[in-house]
Amino acid sequence: MSKKNNVLIWFRQDLRLSDNAALKAAIETGNNIIPIYIWSLDEEKEASLGAASRWWLHQSLTSLTQDLEQLGSRLIIRQGKALSILCELLAETQANAVFWNRCYEPSIIERDKEIKTYLHSNNIEAKSFNSQLLFEPWTVLNSSEKPFQVFTPFWKACLTRSITIPISSPKHLERPTKWPKSLEIKDLELKPKINWDEGLKKAWKVGEKAAADQLNNALTNVVAGYKENRDRPDLEGVSKLSPYLHFGEISPRQIWYAVKSKIVENSSYQESGEAYLRQLGWREFAYHLLFWFPQTVNKPLKEKFARFPWQTNKESLKAWQQGKTGYPIVDAGMRELWATGWMHNRVRMIVASFLVKDLLISWQDGERWFWDTLVDADLANNVLGWQWTAGCGADAAPYFRIFNPVSQAEKFDPEGNYIKRWVPELKNLSSPWIYKPWEAPANILEQAGVKLGQTYPIRIIDHQSARVKALAALESIK
DNA sequence: TTTTGAGTTGTTCGA
DNA sequence: GTCGAACAACTCAAA
C-alpha cells in the first residue's frame, strides 16, 4: 500500500464543513486532510476584525474544532503571516498541496495572489475555490462588458445564471499519521479582556449547526411574512443570518436552495421568498462593487463627495455611539448594537442617516464604529451600506432622501415596543410622545417618570434645521 | 445609434 | 387627514 500524501485545507471565512468546495476538492485527492486556521492579525488590515467579530470568531473556531473532531480530525491553529505559516506547515507535514475558498477583500486578494504564485514556484499545488458567493464578481457584466452600478439590472443578469447545488458534509476525514502542533483557541486572545460580552452570549448561538437552525427557524417563521415584516424591528421579521454568512458558517447557495424549495412546496411563499432572496442579491452586489471598485473601502465612489464638508464633532459622535442622542429610535438602535452586536437593517438606515445627514459626521466614522461593534461586520456590506446612506455610493439614495427619525419610528415601530425594549427609561411614555419626548407636555413626562436632561438626554440637534443644513452641504458639492 | 424610462429602503409641501 | 408632485444626476437596458 502506497503512503498517502498530506494536503492542507486552509479555513478562512468559510468556517463550515458542508458546501465547502475547497474541502470537497481536498477530500477528492484521496490524501490525508490537515485542516488549518491562521490568525493573521497585522496582515489583513482592511479586514482585521473588530471586537465583536473577534468574540464571534472565538466561538466559531470552537464549534468548527468540535465538528472536525466528530469526523476524527482536528483544527490546527497558528498565528502569524499567512505565507510564513503555510511554509512552516508544509515543511512540517510534508504536504504537497494547499486548498482554500476565496475571500474578496482587496488586501486579501492581493495577499492570496502572492501566496499562490510563491507556492506554485515551489512546486506546491495551491488551489482556490468559490464557496462564499453565488456568482464570481468578474463573471457578471453588462452588455458593454463593464461592471453593473445599478442593482436591479445586476440582479436581473444574475437571475439568468445557474447556481451551483450545495455539497453535503463529509462523513469522515482521513487523518495524517502525525499531527502538527497547534495553538489553543484561547491563545489567540479573541475574547474581550473585560466582561462586556454577556449580551452577545445571550443573543447568539454560534457555529455551523446554529446557522442551520437559524435558517430553519427563518424558513418556518420569517420568510413567508418577509415582505410585510422585514422593516419592523419590533417583530421577528428578518432571518438574522448575516453573521453566519460573514463567517461562512452557512453559504449563500444553501440559503438559496432552501428558500427555493420552500417556494416550490408552497406557491404562496413565492413573493416573500423572492423578496428575501433579493437580499442575498444585495450581498452579491456589495461584493461585486468592492471587487471592481476597491478604492471604495475608504473613498467615496462618487468623487465629488471627496469635497463634502464633513464635520468633526467628538461629542456628537460619542452621543451617537452611546445611544444618547435624545432621538429614541436612534438611541434604541445604537443600544441594541452595543448589547447584541447586531442591529435591525431598517434601524441601521435610520441611525446612519442621522449620523451622516443630521450630524454631518463622515460615513467613514460610522463605518468604523459598525466595524468594531457588529458581529456581522463585513467589509463589502458595511461599505456599500454606508456609502448608500451617505449618497456617495453606487445606486445611492438620492441626496434629498433624509430620514426623519420621528416619522420613521412612528411608521416602523408603531407600538413603540422596540424603543421601550432598548430605551427602558421611556417605557411609560405612550404614542406619540415616545417618538419625540421633547414635545411631550410637562405633566405627561412627569407621569412617565421622564426628566429630560436627567433620566433621558435632551436631543442633541433639531432635525428640521439639520435637514436644511444637510441640503445646503449637498448643494455645495454639486 | 439614439432615445427613453426606470431605478431597495423618503420627506415635505400644497391642494 | 390624504394625495400627488417635486426633489438630481446618472447608469443601464430595451425600444
Q: CA(A382)–C1'(B12) in Å?
A: 30
Q: In this structure, is the CB of residue A156 within 7 Å of any atom belonging to strand C?
A: yes
Mean pLDDT to the nearest integer, A65-84: 97
Q: CA(A450)–C1'(B9) in Å?
A: 33
Q: CA(A406)–C1'(B14) in Å?
A: 22
Measured distance CA(A164)–CA(A339) in Å, rounded = 37
Residue at minimum CA to C1' distance from nucleotide B10 = A401
Mean pLDDT to the nearest integer, A425-453: 96
pLDDT, tens digit, for every residue of A241-288? 999 999 999 999 999 999 999 999 998 899 999 999 999 999 999 999
Measured distance CA(A75)–CA(A9) in Å, rounded = 10
A455 backbone φψ class: left, alpha, beta (φ>0; ψ -120 to 50): alpha
Q: In this structure, is the CB of residue A385 within 7 Å of any atom belonging to strand B?
A: yes
User: Does position A69 have pLDDT exceeding 70, yes or no?
Assistant: yes
pLDDT, tens digit, for every residue of A151-194? 999 999 999 999 999 999 999 999 999 999 999 999 999 999 88
Nucleotide nearest to A398 (CA to C1'): C8
pLDDT, tens digit, for every residue of A150-163? 999 999 999 999 99
Q: In this structure, is the CB of residue A282 within 7 Å of any atom belonging to strand B?
A: yes
Mean pLDDT to the nearest integer, A56-68: 98
Q: In this structure, is the CB of residue A393 within 7 Å of any atom belonging to strand B?
A: no
The closest alpha carbon to A42, from A82, A11, A10, belongs to A82
Q: In this structure, is the CB of residue A186 within 7 Å of any atom belonging to strand C?
A: no
Q: In this structure, is the CB of residue A143 within 7 Å of any atom belonging to strand C?
A: yes
Q: In this structure, is the CB of residue A39 within 7 Å of any atom belonging to strand B?
A: no
3-state helix, strand, coil in chain A (%, to 5): 55, 5, 40
* Torsion (CA) A389, A391, A393, A397 in degrees, nearest 10: 70
User: Does position A220 have pLDDT exceeding 50, yes or no?
Assistant: yes
Tell me whether the omega of the peptide bond preceding residue A432 falls within 30 degrees of 0, making it cis.
Answer: yes
Q: In this structure, is the CB of residue A4 within 7 Å of any atom belonging to strand B?
A: no
Q: CA(A70)–C1'(B11) in Å?
A: 56
Question: Which A residues between 334 and 363 have a beta carbon under 7 A from any strand B atom?
Answer: 345-346, 349
Which nucleotides of strand C come closer than 7 angstroms to any CB of the protein?
A: 7-9, 11-14
Which domains can be identified in chain A, with CATH numbers? 6-131 (3.40.50.620), 133-165+207-292 (1.25.40.80), 303-476 (1.10.579.10)
Q: A333 by DSSP, 3-state: which? A: helix
Q: Confidence class of residue A1 from pLDDT cuts 50, 70 and 90?
A: very low
Residue at minimum CA to C1' distance from nucleotide B9 = A346
Average pLDDT, chain A: 94
Kindly report which listed range (A90-94, A145-149, A359-363) carries the lowest average pLDDT score.
A145-149
Q: Which residues pair with A126 in a beta bridge?
A: A98
Q: In this structure, is the CB of residue A148 within 7 Å of any atom belonging to strand B?
A: no
Q: In this structure, is the CB of residue A153 within 7 Å of any atom belonging to strand C?
A: yes
Q: Confidence class of residue A328 from pLDDT cuts 50, 70 and 90?
A: very high
Q: CA(A153)–C1'(C3) in Å?
A: 31
Quick one: pLDDT at residue A359?
A: 96
Its pTM stands at 0.96
Q: CA(A454)–C1'(C7) in Å?
A: 39
Measured distance CA(A413)–CA(A406) in Å, rounded = 10
Q: In this structure, is the CB of residue A478 within 7 Å of any atom belonging to strand C?
A: yes
Mean pLDDT to the nearest integer, A382-398: 91
CB neighbours of A208 closer than 8 A, spacing ≥ 6?
A15, A16, A17, A18, A63, A64, A67, A249, A250
